[in-house]
Amino acid sequence: MALAFTSSTSIAFSSSSSSSRTEQGIHVSSTKFQPSDVSHLVSPAAFNLSRKRSAAVKALNAEPRRNHPIVPSATTTFAPDVVEKAVEVEDFEKLAKDLENASPLEIMDKALEKYGNDIAIAFSGAEDVALIEYAHLTGRPYRVFSLDTGRLNPETYKFFDTVEKHYNIRIEYMFPDSVEVQALVRTKGLFSFYEDGHQECCRVRKVRPLRRALKGLRAWITGQRKDQSPGTRSEVPVVQVDPVFEGMDGGSGSLVKWNPVANVGGNDVWSFLRTMDVPVNSLHGQGYVSIGCEPCTRAVLPGQHEREGRWWWEDAKAKECGLHKGNIKEEIVSGNVNSNDGASDIFNGNDIVNLSRHGMENLLKMEDRKDAWIVVLYAPWCQFCQAMEASYVELGEQLAGSGVKVGKFRADGDEKVFAQQELQLGSFPTILFFPKHSSRPIKYPSEKRDVDSLTSFVNALR
């Protein structure tokens, strides 16, 4: 993945005039947010720390690396004095407790120090520009990426350009797969999310591009705050093992998620942005607080919660696009787990066969099959099943016409006992391979569920 570095020779307010800030919405939005003491956000010691580091970090101007799989047009290189360190095994629950009362600047500094080039800031074009400012203040090199869904507001695109120029960086943009977008729009139209929920569109335009980006990282930094969404974010820790996505090493637990402003209130974030004279999206001055795609975002009225402007036609308790779906809690009902948000089905691909209970029973009975089968036992609410969806769909595409059928079997609810007794289900997802000349399925033994690992498993057995 390409890198976007910035350096600092001193810590000072931006030289941009106050009038230019008024054009970007600072003056208007200041009537909505009350200034508050930000001494706990940026301490004098932290400023001194940044000054000391600034001498060691130089501005870099490198030619784009054209063969990079993620962002071919971004500035790419390593700071000459940054040495990559092996990431040690750590108790992140304990680390989260240790950093619970730390300032966002301290948390950001810890994250960048720990992961170096293997961590990046997720920037949405809203008030999480504060994350970039904190990273800038540490004096360390840092990377920034953003998801361009193709449906953002014009103001957001202009804001991206302003941020790049302000910090002298290149944002690493991730785009949705054009074939998937084309199929969705041709099949269901441009605004299907108003009728059947936003999850499918978000999965194509945001979740899958994010999954590709995170595959090149060991950690990422988000702007989640506890006060953003009481229904889904009230217990967000400052650091956690990502419950949904996988990092470059693959498998569960391979990605760490940092939330430096988790414990900071929205008013304090805005006080920090004004104090540091940070550029902001001009939509904030028009009543927008939480900003996403243009068709799914609107301004909020005074007194409304900021997330009420996102997917306003849906249940307020499940307002996540899938990027932070691990925040949505699960309920245990009569021994079965069900999602609060009515999770839609997953593993939907043209080359994946949806097997019924009868179909699975037939597979178990056959001793001489025409084709071998690989089948995933899944539950659509399972975060680990969701995390491997793209890999499994790609596996189906690769194996099409090869003599190996790719299937899925929903094994929760009423089918769970059957799957446990007859299909070796221990936890979701469970992956089984049915050889051509054997009735006994072979269970996939690894937690690495990337397409290369799954392909190697199939090739070793067929």
* Beta-carbon count within 10 A of 275 CB: 13
Q: What is the dihedral of CA 147, 151, 153, 159, to 10 degrees?
A: 20
Q: How many residues does the chain have?
A: 462
Tell me the C-alpha distance between 148 and 159, whole Å.
Answer: 13
Contacts of 97 (CB under 8 A, 6+ apart): none
State CA 46 to chain mean position distance.
Answer: 28
Burial class (CB within 10 angstroms; exposed 0-12, middle 13-18, buried 19+) of 325: buried
Q: How far is CA 165 from CA 23, 170, 174, 186, 269, in A?
A: 17, 9, 19, 37, 22
Q: Residue 199: enclosing H or E segment and its boundaries?
A: helix 199-202
- Are 317 and 365 spatial neighbours (Cβ–Cβ below 8 Å)? no
Assigned token pair, 75: 């500035």
Q: How far is CA 391 from CA 24, 33, 61, 288, in A?
A: 41, 44, 35, 36
Determine the 3-state secondary structure of 337 from DSSP: strand
Question: Burial code of 138-167, b = ≥16 C-beta within 10 A, e = fewer?
Answer: bbbbbbbbbbbbebbbebbeebbebbeebb
Enumerate the active-site residues.
382, 385
Paired with 352 in beta bridges are 406
Strands of 63-186 (E only): list them. Answer: 119-122, 144-147, 172-174
- Are 167 and 140 spatial neighbours (Cβ–Cβ below 8 Å)? no
Tell me the C-alpha distance between 263 and 211, whole Å.
Answer: 26
- Are 300 and 316 spatial neighbours (Cβ–Cβ below 8 Å)? no
Tell me the C-alpha distance between 110 and 115, whole Å.
Answer: 9
Closest CA to 241 of 225, 226, 253, 223: 253
- Are 150 and 161 spatial neighbours (Cβ–Cβ below 8 Å)? no
Contacts of 336 (CB under 8 A, 6+ apart): 412, 413, 416
- Are 420 and 387 spatial neighbours (Cβ–Cβ below 8 Å)? no
